[in-house]
Amino acid sequence: MTTTSTPRVCRGIGEFRAALGERLAALPGEASLGLVPTMGALHEGHGHLVRLAREENALVAVSVFVNPLQFGPDEDYERYPRTPEADLELLARFGADLVFAPTVEQMYPDGEPLVRVTSGRLGTVLDGASRPGHFDGALTVVNKLLNIAAPPVPGPFRAYFGEKDAQQLLLVRRMVADFDLPVIVRPVPIVRDADGLALSSRNRYLDAGQRRAALVLPGTLRALAAGELDLEAARARIDAADQVRLDYLVVVDPRTLAPAAPGPGALALVAAHVGGTRLIDNLAL
């Protein structure tokens, strides 16, 4: 089923739960629900998440919430792009039924939550090492969103996450398994621009020169996957690029994030600052 009408926007948790309950109850049988958590500033990458949710579920809800808990004090929380009107137009096109767009006060009425999800060992390496507390904040809000959206009536409940944030996806899967959350996690492949750059809401921070410079990230991942460069040479190539400061380039076992030899089954992960913008990307080898 394809929807082109403007989705209903819910602001409060109670309003969203009631709308979900009503819409699900109006659908025949044990209707399935797909939830796509986002921080807005939507692009075609989100389009793939929503469209897959549309294909697989009777009802599709998208949350749009820039979660302060997952930003460090020196990060871009304040200037993170917020484009609510454009988001709504895109969500109508992508086929969402409901949008949950709460304020910070609605999500955290008592201020910062006292109890948080701890991402553990896997949340302190790679992006977790560079962005302390980031994954605890991201998992805390994902946990809340899954609880808020959990259907009040029986039926499959699926949540959609992009493979670009490979470490986040792994941690969400671990949280769902470790806490026995009644939700099916659905990964969605990375979407790239024609030049190979992975789509990201942060790409809009890049000026034309930085955008060109950023292509060293997917280019180097491809060269690594093709065996044209070893890891050391790949790191050197990124380090040598103008305006690019490498944070990490690693090859890991995608289930554990432990270092792995480049080869089938391994995942290459990269993070780098391009100008003032931190970008991540990854490629299965």
Tell me how far, at minimum, the Cβ of 49 lies from ligand PAF, in Å.
Answer: 10
* C-beta closer to ligand PAF: residue 113 or 219: 113
* C-beta closer to ligand PAF: residue 138 or 224: 138
* C-beta closer to ligand PAF: residue 64 or 214: 64
Binding positions for ligand PAF, rule: CB under 6 A:
37-39, 67, 70, 138, 141-142, 165, 168
Tell me how far, at minimum, the Cβ of 141 lies from ligand PAF, in Å.
Answer: 5
Tell me how far, at minimum, the Cβ of 146 lies from ligand PAF, in Å.
Answer: 10
Smallest CA-to-CA distance from 140 within 124, 121, 119 is with 119
Tell me how far, at minimum, the Cβ of 89 lies from ligand PAF, in Å.
Answer: 19
Catalytic residue among 43, 46, 48, 134: 46
* C-beta closer to ligand PAF: residue 45 or 95: 45
* C-beta closer to ligand PAF: residue 238 or 257: 257
SS (H, E, C) the chain: CCCCCCCEEECCHHHHHHHHHHHHHHCCCCCCEEEEEECCCCCHHHHHHHHHHHHHCCEEEEEECCCHHHCCCCCCCCCCCCCHHHHHHHHHHHCCCEEECCCHHHHCCCCCCCCCCCCCHHHCCCHHHHCCCHHHHHHHHHHHHHHHHCCCCCCCEEEEEECCCHHHHHHHHHHHHHCCCCCEEEEECCCECCCCCECCHHHHHCCHHHHHHHCHHHHHHHHHHCCCCCHHHHHHHHHHCCCEEEEEEEEECCCCCCECCCCCCCEEEEEEEECCEEEEEEEEC
Tell me how far, at minimum, the Cβ of 169 lies from ligand PAF, in Å.
Answer: 9
Residues 6 or more apart in contact with residue 231 via CB below 8 angstroms: 224, 249, 250, 251, 262
Is residue 134 flagged as an active site residue?
Answer: no
Tell me how far, at minimum, the Cβ of 251 lies from ligand PAF, in Å.
Answer: 23
* C-beta closer to ligand PAF: residue 119 or 210: 119
Distance of alpha carbon 127 from alpha carbon 249, whole angstroms:
11
Task: Walk across the sheet containing 267-274 and list its strands.
Answer: 244-252, 267-274, 277-284
Just list the catalytic residues.
46
